């Protein structure tokens, strides 16, 4: 008998059909991966299991019994606990308080008893959590562990993880896999969403592939290959190798020297960063989230105050120039934050207006002429294969991947000499990701210097010429991508400078 069985599940949002007649089954004690492109309906499907959405039609059976999961409470009652992509934790509270939230227990909080119980739980599942640590003091990995502990404490035995590895270092990912295997050992079922295929093959027992809101196939992990999975996801054969355009680096375009920036709380976000970047070169930046990547991008783009140090671009010091002046010198930045919207685009405006945001100064006259931007929008839609009802559709209603394409399309449109792109494929499926890698490679070929801030080490290794690793605002190493290994990068990301350091400064 199946532990979970979802039959004929359909869910629509307005005119968009997110899930159509989905069939999905999970067995006891298995790790089941849910694989699919962006907008394939993975998150929608699991959100219906966790009681966030209610299906329009279809039925859900748990342990053979039909259930109506109308709220997170109902889902939890059925034993389903979900670890969301964005953690559902209250930052100002301690781990303990977060675990206690919404629990039925005594009217007054019994501190001792609770701490004891949490310790027992963390021991049993080998989850390392300090009950009295505030969430805002925790690393991403710790937060995730806490989330898992939280749902287990509530008696969940079916665990859903929505893209859990997106924010973790390779070491943290390994730790998470250990935890998942431990869950399996304890008889829990784990459903895990990802688009990183190597992870799927490494950890799962079975894989269900979704495409465009429909179930394509469920396969046993042992009997499949990356190639087959990719084809199932996309619907046609794909070439999975990222082609590295052979580098013929030109002149050094960007030279950063001893860059120090401070946040508003007077914490040093970059502690003396120095590197150079040549035309026709892709410099990858690796590091755990929050190691100073954002501050580095923003400091170069003139959005973040520089405490000391210099940023030379074509021999000119950019420090002190306004963002607008920096843009006119040929620097373009696209940053995709975790929530994918917060930066660069105005969610409620349409594509045309978002394009105009960056170029209205170049227009003459008092009134805005939307025609050139409209033409460009159509062009970008075609070039990047953006699926949208039209150029006048508010972009917040597009899927995350399409929003990112709009952002990148706009930045490439300005024909920059230096392209700074941070997490351009964050949360994107392989099809779109490869499209974006191609675009970046095309820029490189044109002689554009690219600063590529990424999360997927495999991609960094394949795409970039050199990889710079940031840890806590410092450069722990700059490696030539061809010789570097993931393990080396992982160690550097964790702050170990004794990983083989190789300063391959290109002249």
Long-range CB pairs of 432-439, under 8 A, 24+ apart, other chains included: 432/37, 432/38, 432/385, 432/401, 432/404, 432/405, 433/459, 434/238, 434/239, 434/242, 435/384, 435/385, 436/405, 436/408, 437/242, 437/463, 439/384, 439/408, 439/412
Tell whether the torsion through CA atoms of 163, 164, 169 and 175 is positive or negative.
Answer: negative
Cβ-based neighbours of 315, under 8 Å, separated by 6 or more:
none
Pick from 34, 45, 89, 189: which binds other proteins (CB under 8 A)? 89
| Euclidean distance between CA atoms 494 and 285, whole angstroms | 14
By the rule CB under 8 A, 73 interacts with other proteins: yes
DSSP 366-408: SS---HHHHHHHHHHHHHHT---S-TTS-GGGS-HHHHHHHHH
Nearer to other proteins, 246 or 265 (CB): 265
Query: Of 93 and 494, which has the nearer Cβ to other proteins?
Result: 93
Q: Does 67 bind other proteins (CB under 8 A)?
A: no
Nearer residue to other proteins within complex by CB, 108 or 222: 108
Among 68, 88, 251, 500, binds other proteins (CB under 8 A): 88
Three-state DSSP class for residue 290: coil
Q: Quick check: 308 and 260 in contact, CB under 8 A?
A: yes
- Token readout for 90 is 């209250």
Can residue 90 be called a binding residue for other proteins (CB under 8 A)?
yes
Query: Least separation, in Å, of the C-beta of 136 and other proteins?
Result: 5
Region binding other proteins by CB under 8 A among candidate stretches 94-102, 280-288, 416-424, 458-466 = 94-102
- Kindly state whether residue 92 participates in binding other proteins, applying the rule CB under 8 A: yes
Tell me which of 22, 34, 82, 146 binds other proteins, using CB under 8 A.
82
Looking at residue 94, what DSSP letter applies?
A: B
In the set 101, 202, 238, 346, which binds other proteins (CB under 8 A)?
101
Query: Taking the CB of residue 90, how many other CB atoms lie within 10 A of it?
Result: 13
333's tokens: 């930045």
Per CB under 8 A, which of residues 346..405 are in contact with other proteins?
Answer: none
Query: Using CB under 8 A, which of 31, 69, 76, 406 touches other proteins?
Result: 76
Contact region for other proteins (CB under 8 A) — 65-73, 351-359, 362-370, 446-454?
65-73
Rounded Cα gap, residues 213 and 359, in angstroms: 37
Is residue 251 near other proteins by the rule CB under 8 A? no
What are residue 317's phi and psi, to 5 degrees? Answer: -80, 120
Stretch that binds other proteins, among 66-74, 416-424, 445-453, 490-498 (CB under 8 A): 66-74
The answer to whether the CB of 19 falls within 8 A of the CB of 41 is: yes
- Name which of 52 and 140 has its Cβ closer to other proteins: 52
Partners of 194 in the beta sheet?
35
Number of other residues whose CB lies within 10 A of the CB of residue 21: 14
Under the criterion CB under 8 A, does residue 223 sit at the interface with other proteins? no
Window 136 to 155, contacts with other proteins (CB under 8 A): 136, 150
Euclidean distance between CA atoms 42 and 59, whole angstroms: 17
Minimum distance of other proteins from residue 295's CB (angstroms) = 18
E strand or H helix at 272, and its extent? strand 268-278
CB nearer to other proteins: pick between 92 and 367:
92
Q: Is 264 in the site for other proteins (CB under 8 A)?
A: yes
CB of 19 to other proteins, least distance (A): 14
Output 146 or 277, the one with its CB closest to other proteins.
146
> Per CB under 8 A, does 238 bind other proteins?
no
Does residue 134 touch other proteins according to CB under 8 A?
yes
Q: Which is nearer to other proteins, 66 or 90 (CB)?
A: 90
Of 181 and 346, nearer to other proteins (C-beta) is 346
* Piece of 95-103, 176-184, 216-224, 411-419 that binds other proteins (CB under 8 A): 95-103
How far is it, in rounded angstroms, from Cα 120 to Cα 118? Answer: 5
403-413: burial string, b at 16+ Cβ within 10 Å, e else:
bbbbbbbbbbb
Q: Indicate the residue among 106 and 382 with the shorter CB distance to other proteins.
A: 106
Residues of this chain that bind other proteins (CB under 8 A): 13, 50, 52-53, 71-73, 76, 82, 84, 86-93, 97-98, 100-103, 105-109, 134, 136, 150, 264-265
């Amino acid at each position: 008998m199946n532990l979970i069985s979802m039959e004929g599940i359909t869910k629509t949002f307005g005119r968009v059909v997110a899930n159509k007649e989905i069939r999905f089954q999970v067995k006891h004690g298995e790790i089941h991966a849910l694989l699919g492109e962006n907008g394939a309906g993975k998150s929608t499907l699991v959100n219906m299991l966790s009681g966030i959405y209610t299906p329009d039609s279809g039925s859900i059976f748990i342990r053979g019994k039909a259930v109506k999961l109308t709220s997170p409470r109902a889902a939890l009652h059925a034993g389903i606990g979900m670890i969301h992509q964005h953690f559902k934790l209250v930052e100002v509270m301690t781990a303990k308080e977060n675990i206690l939230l919404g629990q039925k227990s005594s009217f007054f909080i019994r501190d001792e008893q609770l701490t004891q119980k949490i310790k027992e739980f963390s021991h049993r599942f080998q989850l390392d959590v300090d009950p009295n640590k505030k969430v805002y003091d925790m690393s991403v990995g710790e937060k995730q562990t806490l989330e898992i502990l939280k749902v287990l404490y509530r008696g969940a035995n079916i665990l859903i993880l929505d893209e859990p590895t997106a924010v973790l270092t390779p070491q943290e990912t390994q730790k998470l896999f250990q935890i998942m295997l431990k869950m399996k050992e304890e008889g829990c079922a784990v459903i895990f969403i990802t688009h990183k295929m190597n992870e799927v093959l490494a950890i799962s027992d079975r894989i269900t592939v979704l495409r465009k809101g429909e179930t394509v196939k469920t396969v046993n992990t042992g009997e499949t290959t990356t190639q087959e999975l990719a084809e199932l996801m996309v619907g046609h054969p794909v070439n999975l190798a990222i082609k590295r355009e052979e580098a013929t680096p030109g002149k050094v375009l960007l030279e950063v020297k001893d860059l120090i920036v401070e946040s508003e709380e007077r914490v040093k976000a970059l502690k003396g960063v120095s590197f150079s970047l040549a035309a026709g070169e892709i410099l990858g930046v690796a590091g755990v989230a929050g190691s100073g990547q954002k501050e580095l991008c923003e400091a170069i783009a003139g959005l973040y105050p520089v405490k000391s140090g210099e940023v030379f671009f074509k021999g000119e010091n950019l420090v002190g120039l306004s963002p607008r002046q920096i843009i006119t010198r040929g620097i373009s930045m696209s940053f995709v934050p975790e929530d994918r919207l917060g930066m660069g685009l105005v969610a409620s405006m349409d594509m045309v207006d978002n394009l105009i945001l960056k170029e209205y100064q170049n227009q003459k006259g008092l009134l805005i002429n939307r025609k050139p931007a409209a033409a460009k929008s159509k062009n970008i839609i075609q070039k990047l294969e953006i699926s949208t009802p039209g150029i006048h559709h508010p972009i917040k209603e597009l899927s995350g991947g399409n929003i990112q394409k709009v952002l990148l399309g706009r930045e490439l449109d300005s024909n920059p000499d230096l392209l700074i792109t941070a997490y351009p494929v964050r949360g994107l499926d392989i099809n779109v990701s490869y499209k974006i890698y191609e675009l970046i490679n095309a820029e490189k070929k044109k002689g554009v210097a690219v600063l590529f801030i990424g999360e997927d080490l495999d991609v960094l290794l394949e795409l970039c010429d050199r990889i710079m690793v940031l840890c806590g605002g410092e450069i722990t190493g700059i490696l030539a991508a061809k010789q570097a290994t993931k393990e080396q990068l992982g160690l550097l990301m964790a702050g170990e400078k004794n990983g083989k350091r190789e300063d391959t400064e290109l002249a």
